[in-house]
Amino acid sequence: MKRKNILTAIIMIMVICVFAYLSIFGLIINEKTYIKSAKDIKTGLDISGGVSITYQAVNDNNEITAEDLKTSEAVIRKRLEKINIYDFYVRTDENTKQIYVEIPAKIEDQTRDPLEAVKGLDKTAKIEFRDPEGNVLLSGSDIKGAKYSEEPTNSTSSSLSTEPHVVLEFSEEGTIKFAAATEKLIGKTLAITLDGTIITEPTVNSKIDSNTAIITMGKGTYAEKKVEATQYAMLIDSGALPFTLEVINKEYIGPYIGQKALEISIYAGLISLALISAFMILMYRLPGLISAIALVAYTSIILFIMVVTNISLTLAGIAGLILSIGMAVDASVIIFERFREELKNNIGYKKAFEKGFKHAMSAIIDGNVTTFIIALLLYLFGIGPVKGFGLILAIGVLTSLFTAVFITKAILKQVLPIAGSNPFLFGIKKEVK
């Protein structure tokens, strides 16, 4: 039985070590990147600097009003947030009819245009469904939302299960219009245009009563289709601009604090993790060592999430991560103190383990849930760095709860039958029978 526990514990620790390695260094086989490394995490304006863009609002038909400028500012904010950029600055000037945008970008890489990071930001994104004669059957006001997908939907065939596409969701009125349009155009084509350019033109085979439709991408590689579909989903879902935008000025801006601040933060984080681990081991010995392993798992999961989701890491986000590390350590301390209390009652290691976790759960869940609610409110109602802080804090709290409760519990459960007879390993002076 003990041999099985030892083997299980070793496998768990090895899995954590492998995952930590992949999260930090990534996975590259035959020059093909399967998992990006931690170096590929996007950094915000305050860390890596960026670019300042001045857009001129142009409308040949109507006068540009203050309300139009406010609408455009909201649309631009939403578009940036759709591509996980939260550290930005947007303002409008009613006198000059100009919009100023500052976005994070790797300005040290002179081979790439920083505007590539926000390609499509200045597009009007006016979407329309047209019949073969060019008549508009549906427009952007009939669309409730849009999202990128690779999964089959009610409107897709199995051949599209792995192909990037955009799923449109119609409003109630839009659903009725779409059904009427497809019934009218059976055997004919229905063109979907974006800013007057046809992006797909399928032939209608039957009436479609669904409240969803898809936009498939044209020719190209998987990566090209994914980029195109992601951009279309972002543009359509964020709404249309009331006028066109022209880039009249673009200049690079230095970081507010810079890469040095990021390097210092990384060193400080590593030192903090080492000191916290040493403190936990000193205070709780074997359980403390297990909590240190759980902290490694926590850090690895956070890095992996940041790489996969392309969330920009800002100094405010780093503060959110540090706060969530404190939540993870706090959870471990509560668990181990409860465990110690039960051990001192001479009820045995197995019962002390079960009762300790059970009694610690209410305090841990209360603390994490309240912090998560605050983080969620910051994300929902905040703007810019505040929204980014809330998002990172929410991710960190959920991750810390998972690692502190599940990973710590799983490993500790395996080592108890092995080390349970040695009270010194649990910081207990008097042996517990």
d(CA 100, CA 260): 27
Mean pLDDT of 270-274: 86
- Structural domain contains residue 374: yes
d(CA 306, CA 211): 33
- Structural domain contains residue 172: yes
Mean pLDDT of 220-234: 84
pLDDT bucket at 160, cuts 50 / 70 / 90:
very low
More confident residue, 90 or 47: 90
Cβ-based neighbours of 373, under 8 Å, separated by 6 or more:
none
pLDDT for res 337: 86
pLDDT for res 116: 65
Question: Do 184 and 329 sit in the same domain of this protein?
Answer: no
- Structural domain contains residue 112: yes
Question: Do 28 and 66 sit in the same domain of this protein?
Answer: no
Phi-psi region of 384 (alpha: psi -120 to 50; beta: other; left: phi over 0): left
Per residue in 314-371, pLDDT tens? Answer: 888 888 888 888 888 888 888 888 888 887 777 777 788 888 888 888 888 888 899 9
Mean pLDDT of 407-427: 78
The domain of 190 spans 47-253
SS3 content of the chain, % helix, strand, coil (to 5): 55, 20, 25
pLDDT for res 429: 61
Per residue in 370-405, pLDDT tens? Answer: 999 999 999 888 877 788 889 889 998 899 888 877
pLDDT for res 432: 44
User: Is pLDDT above 60 for 163?
Assistant: yes
CA distances from 129 to 136, 185, 200, 204 (A): 6, 12, 10, 13
- Structural domain contains residue 284: yes
- Structural domain contains residue 7: yes
pLDDT bucket at 16, cuts 50 / 70 / 90:
very high
CA distances from 286 to 2, 71, 272 (A): 17, 58, 20
Mean pLDDT of 144-155: 74
Last residue of some domain: 233, 253, 273? 253
Chain mean pLDDT for the chain:
83
* Percentage of the residues of the chain whose pLDDT score is greater than 90: 14
Question: Do 209 and 265 sit in the same domain of this protein?
Answer: no
Last residue of some domain: 229, 253, 277? 253
Question: Do 180 and 215 sit in the same domain of this protein?
Answer: yes
- Structural domain contains residue 431: no
Structural tokens at position 226: 């994914």
Question: Do 416 and 279 sit in the same domain of this protein?
Answer: yes
Mean pLDDT of 176-186: 91
Domain with residue 282: its CATH number is: 1.20.1640.10
Nearest to 155 by CA among 139, 167, 170: 167
Question: Do 162 and 216 sit in the same domain of this protein?
Answer: yes
Question: Do 167 and 312 sit in the same domain of this protein?
Answer: no
- Structural domain contains residue 432: no
User: Is pLDDT above 90 for 414?
Assistant: no
d(CA 47, CA 24): 19
pLDDT for res 141: 86
Question: Do 270 and 411 sit in the same domain of this protein?
Answer: yes
pLDDT for res 156: 40
Place of tokens 């009762």: 355
Mean pLDDT of 158-172: 75
Question: Do 278 and 321 sit in the same domain of this protein?
Answer: yes
Mean pLDDT of 72-100: 86
pLDDT for res 173: 92
- Structural domain contains residue 433: no
Mean pLDDT of 405-429: 77
Question: Do 33 and 51 sit in the same domain of this protein?
Answer: no
More confident residue, 113 or 394: 394
Question: Do 92 and 139 sit in the same domain of this protein?
Answer: yes
pLDDT for res 297: 92
Domain with residue 209: its CATH number is: 3.30.1360.200
Domain count, the chain: 2
Last residue of some domain: 212, 234, 253? 253
Q: Is the pTM here over 0.85, yes or no? A: no
More confident residue, 148 or 152: 148
Question: Do 358 and 396 sit in the same domain of this protein?
Answer: yes
